[in-house]
């Protein structure tokens, strides 16, 4: 594949990912407004005649929950995780790890301490 063909394929893939953000039942015009581009840009993406500029990619990321990494590469999560959600997940995992450590300590103490197996009265 030539450099130009690779560039066109990459550009087309980015345009397809942008178009995939369109909500069910949403018109091209309202989708264009929501992502911060003109309706003509959406039409050009649909026809394959234009690729996404950095300015348009920035507008899409700014106006949607789309991940910039996913838009450009197609890899990873499609949507950004808001900082509050990320913080909540980290806290939940840390709490789970703490609970698991406490459970393991209790189980070790039962096996070592009195010789009884867990669940004994």
- Tell which of 73, 90, 106 closes a domain: 73
Domain ranges, residue 62: 3-73
Instruction: Give me the pLDDT at residue 113, please.
Output: 77
Task: Note whether 13 and 57 are within 8 A (CB).
Answer: no
Cα dihedral 33, 38, 7, 20 in deg (nearest 10):
30
- Tell which of 41, 57, 73 closes a domain: 73
Task: Note whether 117 and 110 are within 8 A (CB).
Answer: yes
pLDDT tens digits for the chain (121 residues)? 555 444 444 577 888 999 999 999 999 999 999 988 899 989 988 888 777 788 888 889 988 889 999 999 999 888 877 667 767 777 888 888 888 889 999 999 998 875 555 555 5
Global pTM reads: 0.56
| 7 and 64 co-located in one domain | yes
| 64 and 20 co-located in one domain | yes
Instruction: Give me the pLDDT at residue 39, please.
Output: 92
């Amino acid at each position: 594949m030539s450099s130009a063909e690779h560039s066109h394929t990459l550009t087309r893939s980015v345009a397809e990912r942008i178009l995939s953000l369109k909500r069910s039942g949403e018109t091209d015009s309202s989708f264009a407004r929501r992502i911060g581009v003109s309706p003509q840009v959406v039409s050009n993406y649909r026809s394959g005649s234009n690729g996404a500029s950095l300015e348009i990619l920035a507008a899409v990321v700014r106006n949607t929950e789309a991940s910039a990494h996913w838009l450009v590469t197609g890899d990873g999560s499609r949507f950004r995780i808001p900082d509050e959600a990320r913080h909540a997940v980290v806290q939940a995992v840390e709490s789970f790890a703490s609970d698991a450590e406490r459970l393991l300590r209790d189980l070790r103490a039962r096996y070592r301490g009195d010789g009884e197996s867990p669940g004994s009265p």
